[in-house]
Amino acid sequence: MKPLILAMALLCWSQTAQAHPHVFIDTGLELIFDAQHRATGLRITWSYDDLTSLQIITDKGLDPDFDGNLTPEETSQLNGFDMHWDAGYPGDTYASMAGQSLPLSGPSDWTVDYKDAKILSTHYRSFDQPIEITQPFLVQVYDPTLYISYALKLGTTLTNAADCTARTVLPNLDAARAKLNAAIAALPQDAEAAYPELGADFAEAMEVICPPQS
Task: Name residue 126's amino acid.
Answer: S
Q: How far apart are CA 32 and CA 37, in angstroms?
A: 9
Given this model, what pLDDT does residue 141 score? 98
Mean pLDDT (the chain, rounded)? 88
Given this model, what pLDDT does residue 168 score? 96
Which is nearest to 43 in space by CA: 33, 54, 57? 33
pLDDT per position as a tens digit, 175-193: 999 998 898 888 887 656 6
Give start and end residues of each alpha helix (H) in the chain: 3-12, 50-59, 72-78, 173-185, 199-202
**What average pLDDT does range 5-26 have in this prediction?**
59
Q: How far apart are CA 80 and CA 121, in angstroms?
A: 8
195 versus 144: the higher-pLDDT residue is: 144
pLDDT above 70 as % of the chain: 89
Which is nearest to 33 in space by CA: 127, 101, 107? 127
Given this model, what pLDDT does residue 170 score? 96
pLDDT band for 89, please (50, 70, 90 cuts). very high
